[in-house]
Structure 1
């Protein structure tokens, strides 16, 4: 449930995604990743990113109850933000030997459209998917805007560096960990 002290920006609706939202979620995610990491991603990232998003699998996941907590923010007919947390570790982390994870929950998605930066939507999305349990996330190195956002919410950088893999152009990343909920 969103923090009651934070108001949604005008005209924004926040809700749990449905299977029908899967194509819009996947497209928004890839578009925001391309924007956020412009010039750092391989040329075929959009195609590979959409394939990785697997819209059919995403729609199935949105229709099934599970441990993930997800929210999608709409403004009219466009997605302006997404966020999700899930049980950790992810399959890819196990495959790479990045276990045990530093917490049992991972913030695996939080993207806000650039037009909505500074409106508080990121904080609303964060509050909607995060509870008091310890949590970690993966941060692409050099994303200072996101780093500041998470630092204000009690996350601390871990002294590690892992490459993202070929789909992401082997960009370095590291984990940030939050032991408990801290009020901003």
Structure 2
């Protein structure tokens, strides 16, 4: 599943980690890793059916399609051997759900949609390498679940600042409050 050519990284990767663009064959592994890491990161805060609903919303067939024709999105997947240890994605903003909720105009034209790293890779530099691989010099924003101090520190060190707002994550996430961070 992870046989395509690895991409060079601006920042050195942890030993044995290969970074590349995801392919349609990666869609199920991407979705499964993402939901698992979301559950781990927000343990005790999410509804009991989060994993089931999260995988449904991930829409693996839809991911296969977008991975086949990435358009304006930039995505990277990090493999260590035969397993995913991180992923990141940016896209044009605002997302459809942001428009539907009236959260427009966005604070920037690019959004960091995803950045998750397996717990055993925290502190290895993989998160920074993934961020550098998908975020360019243009202004970007991201959504941060309130209370995720580790992620807040990570993004603050890389020039993101908290915006003074609080929005509900909605029913899939149990209404946990979140806010945006901006790097302009």
Query: TM class, shorter-chain normalised?
Result: over 0.9
Distance (Å, rounded) in 1 between the aligned partners of 2:147 and 2:111? 20
Q: Which runs of 5+ in 2 are unaligned?
A: 1-6
Deviations 1:49-101 (A, max 9, x none): 00110000001000013000000000001000000000000000000000000
Equivalence for 2:137:
132
CA RMSD of aligned residues (A): 0.9
- Alpha-carbon distance in structure 2 between the residues aligned to 1:177 and 1:126: 14
* Contact 1:2–1:128 under 8 Å retained in 2: no
Moved over 2 A (4+): 1-4
Matched residue, 1:159 = 164
**What TM-score, normalized by structure 1, do the two folds share?**
0.95
- For residues 38 and 8 of structure 2, the distance between their equivalents in structure 1, rounded to whole angstroms, comes to 24
Q: Is the 8 A contact 1:26 1:55 kept in 2?
A: yes
The secondary structure found in structure 1 opposite 2:79 is strand
2:128 to 114, 123, 132: 123
Tell me how far apart the structure 2 counterparts of residues 172 and 60 of structure 1 sit (CA, whole Å).
31
Q: Which runs of 5+ in 1 are unaligned?
A: 180-184
Aligned to 1:108: 113
2:79 is the alignment partner of 1:74: yes
Tell me how far apart the structure 1 counterparts of residues 42 and 164 of structure 2 sit (CA, whole Å). Answer: 22
Question: Across the two proteins, how many residue pairs are aligned to each other?
Answer: 178
Change (3 A) 1:23 1:61: same
